[in-house]
Structure 1
Amino acid sequence: MITKQDIYTILQEISLKESTHHPFPQANKIWRIIDLLSWMGDRAVTYEAIEAHNQFIDRHNNDRQGKYYGDASNYLQLTKEVATNTIALTSRGKDFLQQTPKNQR
C-alpha cells in the first residue's frame, strides 16, 4: 500500500522549482496519478489517451482533464514530455512502480 510517507519521500527527493514548462498541477486525486503510471507501463501516451483511459467527460470534447493528470505526473518528475502532448515514464516513475507491489497501488 502506498502510504503518506511514500508520498512525502517522493516530495523530498524531487527538486521543486519554478517552471513555465510544468504548470502547478490541477489534478486533485493522487490515486489517478498512480493509476496513470501503472497504466502507462513502458509506452508513451497522449493526453487524449489519458482522458479516454479515465473516462473523463468534457462537454467541450478536449483533453483538459487528461492534461491535468499528465501535468501533475510531470511536475512530480514521474513522467516527462517526449513529444507534443505525449508523456512517458521517467526513471523515477519506473522506480516508483517497482517499489510498490501492483496489488497495493
Structure 2
Amino acid sequence: MAAIELDLSELEPPHPWERVVEQLPKLQQGDWLQLWHHREPIPLWSLLKRLGLNYHCIPVSALSVEQLQQLGAVPPRAQYWLLVWNSSDTESASTCQWLLGS
C-alpha cells in the first residue's frame, strides 16, 4: 500500500496529463495517486471516470491544518491537491477517505 506522488505544479500541458496516464497502469491493490497541480485538471475527470477510478480535488487553500501536517511540504506552485484511486479497491479507498478527513 503506497501513494504514488507526482508534483505536476511546474509542468505545462500536456505534460501533467502524460505523467498521470503513465502512472495509472502502475496502480496496484492499495495504491493511489497523490497529485499536486497548479490548476484544476478538469480534462482528466472524464478519463478517470471511464477507467472506473475515483478522484477528489481540493484547493490547497482549503486543506485543514491536520491535512497539511499529514501531507508535509506542499510544492510552492501547487494550488490543488488530488487523490486518485481504483473504485473497486477498498484498501486504497479507505486510506484516501481517511486522508480526505471523511
TM-score bin (small chain): under 0.3
Q: More strand by proportion, 1 or 2?
A: 2
Give the helix-richer structure, 1 or 2: 1
TM-score by length of 1: 0.26
Name the TM-score, length of structure 2 as normaliser: 0.27
